[in-house]
Amino acid sequence: MSESIQICPQCSSEQNYFDGTFTVCLECGHEWDAANVSNEDALEVKDSNGNLLVNGDDVILIKDLKLKGSSTVLKKGAKAKGIRLVEGDHEIDCKVDGMKIMLKACFVKKA
């Protein structure tokens, strides 16, 4: 077989197989049509340490952040599980302490 290694677009794992129609990830179970996946559309977002972030990662705040329009402060060390990367000024959509918020990647590090 002269096929290149396919990387899962959901969890970035190289552990997958082709079942005849779709490629299936062994780690997360995601199925995709490898012919229709383009790497040009993938967002490249890096945390404060330069680590590449992907959808589903867990991140930790590196400093206290005051929420705009509120007296609430998100404390340094608060963890956001299962982030979602989005286009725009704030690259991360997540929940921290039960509140849905958007964060800039420069204020987080990969857990």
Tens digit of pLDDT for each residue in 25-77? 888 888 877 666 555 456 789 999 999 999 899 999 999 999 988 899 999 99
* Domain range summary for the chain, segments of one domain joined by +: 1-42, 45-110
d(Cα 33, Cα 1) in Å, to the nearest integer? 18
If you classify domain 45-110 with CATH, what class do you get?
mainly beta
Q: How high is the pLDDT of residue 95?
A: 93
Burial 42-52 (b: 16+ CB within 10 A, else e): eeebebbeeee
pLDDT band at 20 (very low <50, low <70, confident <90, very high): confident
Number of other CB atoms surrounding residue 65 within 10 Å: 19
What CATH number labels 1-42? 2.20.25.10
The mean of the pLDDT values for the chain is 85
Instruction: Report the predicted TM-score, pTM, of the whole model to 2 decimal places.
Output: 0.62
Q: How high is the pLDDT of residue 37?
A: 56
